[in-house]
Structure 1
Amino acid sequence: MLIEFRVTNFRSLRDEQVLSLVASSDKTLQDSHTQATGIRAAPFLVRSAVVYGANASGKSNLIRALKSMRGVVTQSATAKPDQIFAAQPFRLDADSIDQPIEFEATLLLDGVRYQYGFALTTQRVVSEHLLVYQAFKPQRWFKRHFDTDTGKDVYEFGSGLKGPKNLWEGATRPNALFLSVAVQLNSDALRPVFDWFENRLLIVNEQTRFTQKPLIQMLQQADGRKEICNFLSAADISIADITVETRKIPRISRFDSEGSKTEMQSEEMEEHTPRTYHKLLFHHVTERGKAVFDLMDESSGTHKLLLFAEPVLDTLRNGQTLVVDELDTSLHSLLLRELVRLFHHSETNTGGAQLIFTTHDTSLLDAPDLFRRDQVWLVEKDRDQASALVSLSEFSPRKNEALERGYLTGRYGGVPLLSHALGLKH
């Protein structure tokens, strides 16, 4: 599970910003909305977190920052020696432009707490560290920093990290992470951290391209089809069943230069087009009748919920962390609420899965028992156009306070001041 994410000097996030999933001491909805950890420093973690803010406030940059960290961890070991990082520091401050971008994630994996972070410029990694809490006192497994005087990386290793550390150090290029290279060279001790980023963290934003292949594979299995239908039913979408109709694509004919009809060879066909395609059929049943519709007949909300079905169910099944930017797009508020509640129900979330998302849907704030105060976060920009992230808990709202009204009137920040922006008088 994700305990905490820190980022500094990334796009509009100039100063260090901290997204914490550590639950407060408030006992409200503790059994459903939090997960016990067994560690004293953070006894409970929240199972979901929502981030609000005006357009261009920096909400999406928070998601991009986590995705950027994930990309460096998973890809730097295989990058080309001269490949640079797509690092974008805060550009509206002369002091920040030349400073490195910093990321740090604190994770709870199989009862062990890992605190891993690094800093980089476009050209190289300038520092990297890993603290491991196998007991209450942390062990520093490794620390790396770039010495500008010698032009070399300097490493410090702790006794807790086992394996050929000198070999891993020698194989780590300036534009690669030591952790990623060590895992590539079979470090079992460091693999849990790497695997969390690669396999247990799923990030969906405007750059994500969904593929239907995992969904089709689930629908082609009886158990998977039942899971997806139950998922849609929980969101009050009246689909009784979904079947997959698989059709072969006919061979493609073409004409040569003399006008003779020929057929593409199999290897040519595989190169130009798939050999089969899948058609989804949706079975609707009411008291007065039944009908079958194809995907184009379903609403845009059903389309999006269907695409989310496989990653959401996979996240819940395997205890992963799902991060989504603008989750409310094309989803009705009631559907969005039911999606969030899947992460709060112990029957559907048995493995400590987490959901983190941004939204403009303020009606969620007053939805009964949907969020604790420590699950709501707000982002807004200051006069320097630097984004600041703050927890709603810091405003100490009353138990029965109308949060949506308070948010929309600017009591907690995170909303555009339209009258000032448009030059209007109150």
Structure 2
Amino acid sequence: MLIRFAVSNFLSFDGKQELSLEAGRARRNSNRIYTNRRLRLVKGEALFGANGSGKSNLVKAMRFVQAVVRSGFPRGFSNSYYRIKDENRVVPTEFEVEILCEDKRLCYGFSTVLYTGSIETEWLYEFTPSGLKKYIFSRDVEKETFEVGEFFKGKDAIAKVKNYGEDSANDHENLFLTIINRSKGKMYSEFPELKILQSVFEWFVSKLTISFPEDILKGYPYFRDSNLQEIADILNALGTGIKNLRIVEIPQEIVKNKIPEELYNDIIVDLEKTNAQMKKEGKEATPSIMARAIKEFYTFEIDENDRVSVKTIEFEHEAPNVYFNLNEESDGTARLLDLIEILFKVSNDSIYVIDEIDRCLHPAMTTKIIKLFLQMAESRNTQLIITTHESRLLKDEILRNDEISFMLKSLSGSTIIKSLDTYQLRSDKKVYEALFDGTLDALPKFDNEKLQGIIDCNLNGN
């Protein structure tokens, strides 16, 4: 689970800003708070703010960290520092992510000069029950030093980590967390104590799912033939008019023209690797991967004869046996497919980050989806972080105060993250009222005099 995400000198973030998912003191809806002996976390967090306040930039920061951990710097990163200050070009950009992993409170972070694409420092440590930092490793690329902390006890395990660490001490392009997880399965079998490094890596790669409205997505394990009727029932209950779904096979050439070639090839490679692994383990299940473009939905399958097929989903409405493909459905229905995966997939310890969750959805649909997620969060340790403009979430008092944060702009133009808990509203003050009476200072700031001047000029024909 995610505890805290911190970022500085990235896009609209200048100084260090933090998003915390630690629960406050509120007692309302406490049944959906994750609690262990020393930690209380919210499972939902809604980020509000005016257009241009930096909501999407926070999501981009999370995706950037995920990309660098997974495979290195993504394209177009060199100008992603806070460019309002020219001197920030040479100032390190820093990310720090605090997570709950293997029942341990861990903190992973790194700093990099984006303009030159140079990693400078990297660290991973555990917060002990007493609050002390127990380092797992730390790396200073500028000084070409790598140190193993007190976390590991076995001498051979320590020597193994130190050996890989010292080899990467002057590697400015790759994170040590990435390097230590490249084809190291045998190492983790020989030294089980080191698996914490694998678990942290997998947290970023597999547990964290980040979605922008325009994304082409892979995954969708919930959308199996056996679940079709349940999915249809969900869509019908949400008022879409859909009654049934069916799966039909389509030619691969059609799919190749619909999605990027690189993505298509990646899916086929992943499918073949999964199939080979399952055969090696003696499993008979047919592996499949699902992918969706904006208005397309595909299931890639490989059978026992290694034949790859592609299927899609079609929708039946009021008229029996008349089916429509996803491209003929509304944008809102297509959006719901993403959200159904998050709501109903049986998962634990997953973190979903969705930018503009209300895109293409009726306000009542957005609030219903959030209510359903929070209801199901009572029995699952799954977290949902969203950006939204949907103020009805505040008006209907669906969220706890510690499940609400605002993205604000400073006078210099940088983004500030401010939890609603920090405003210390009076107990009788409604959040929705506070938003619109100026107490929260989170609405767009209009220059009404300038706008009126523009209107007057147009009306006068100037």
1:235 aligns with 2:266: no
1:190 aligns with 2:197: yes
Aligned residue identity for 2:111: A
Q: Counterparts in 2 of 1:21-420, with a 5 A limit? A: 21-32=21-32, 34-36=33-35, 38-40=36-38, 42=39, 44-76=40-72, 86=78, 88-122=80-114, 123-133=117-127, 135-136=129-130, 137-147=132-142, 152-161=143-152, 162-163=157-158, 164-172=160-168, 173-184=171-182, 185=184, 186=187, 187-206=194-213, 208-210=215-217, 214-215=219-220, 218-222=222-226, 224-233=227-236, 235-248=238-251, 278-284=311-317, 290=320, 292-294=322-324, 295-314=326-345, 317-346=347-376, 350-368=379-397, 370-419=398-447
Q: Distance in 2 between matches of 1:87 and 1:181?
A: 25
CA shift digits 1:241-291 (9 cap, x unpaired):
21112245799xxxxxxxxxxxxxxxxxx9xxx986545332335xxx756
Q: Name the SS of the counterpart of 2:317 in structure 1.
A: strand
Aligned residue identity for 2:385: I
Q: Displacement, 1:9? A: 0.8
Q: Distance in 2 between matches of 1:233 and 1:374?
A: 33
- My pick for the range that moved more, 50-59 or 153-162, is 153-162
- My pick for the range that moved more, 10-19 or 198-207, is 198-207
CA shift digits 1:121-165 (9 cap, x unpaired):
133211111111354343111111234xxxx42122113233402
Q: TM-score, normalised by structure 1?
A: 0.81
Q: Distance in 2 between matches of 1:192 and 1:99?
A: 31
Q: Distance in 2 between matches of 1:52 and 1:4?
A: 18
8 Å contact 2:146–2:166 — kept in the other structure? no
- My pick for the range that moved more, 58-67 or 200-209, is 200-209
Q: Distance in 1 between matches of 2:119 and 2:251?
A: 49
Q: Name the SS of the counterpart of 2:322 in structure 1.
A: strand
Aligned residue identity for 2:381: G
Aligned residue identity for 1:232: L
Q: Displacement, 1:206? A: 4.8
Q: Distance in 2 between matches of 1:410 and 1:421?
A: 19
Percent pairwise identity: 25
- 1:375–1:85 Cα change, 3 Å: same
- 1:398–1:230 Cα change, 3 Å: farther
Give unmatched runs, 5+ long, in structure 2.
188-193, 255-267, 269-299, 301-307, 454-462
Q: Displacement, 1:375? A: 0.8
Q: Displacement, 1:239? A: 2.7
Q: Displacement, 1:409? A: 3.7
Q: Distance in 1 between matches of 2:417 and 2:144?
A: 33
Q: Displacement, 1:385? A: 0.7
Aligned residue identity for 2:106: Y
- 1:232–1:171 Cα change, 3 Å: farther
Q: Distance in 2 between matches of 1:336 and 1:250?
A: 36
Give 1:6's aligned residue: 6
- 1:174–1:85 Cα change, 3 Å: farther
Q: Distance in 2 between matches of 1:354 and 1:391?
A: 17
Q: TM-score, normalised by structure 2?
A: 0.75
Aligned residue identity for 1:221: D
CA shift digits 1:200-221 (9 cap, x unpaired):
000012552235xx45x75442
Q: Distance in 1 between matches of 2:328 and 2:177?
A: 48
Q: Name the SS of the counterpart of 1:125 in structure 2.
A: strand
CA shift digits 1:353-393 (9 cap, x unpaired):
0110101111111124x100111111121221111110111
8 Å contact 2:405–2:417 — kept in the other structure? yes
8 Å contact 1:47–1:343 — kept in the other structure? no
Give 2:456's aligned residue: none
8 Å contact 1:87–1:101 — kept in the other structure? no
8 Å contact 1:378–1:413 — kept in the other structure? no
CA shift digits 1:74-107 (9 cap, x unpaired):
113xx79xx9954621111244232011000110
1:422 aligns with 2:450: yes
Q: Name the SS of the counterpart of 1:190 in structure 2.
A: helix
Q: Name the SS of the counterpart of 2:369 in structure 1.
A: helix
RMSD: 2.9
Q: Displacement, 1:297? A: 4.2
Give 1:267's aligned residue: none
Aligned residue identity for 1:308: L
Give 2:296's aligned residue: none
Q: Distance in 1 between matches of 2:22 and 2:449?
A: 36
Q: Distance in 2 between matches of 1:102 and 1:353?
A: 26
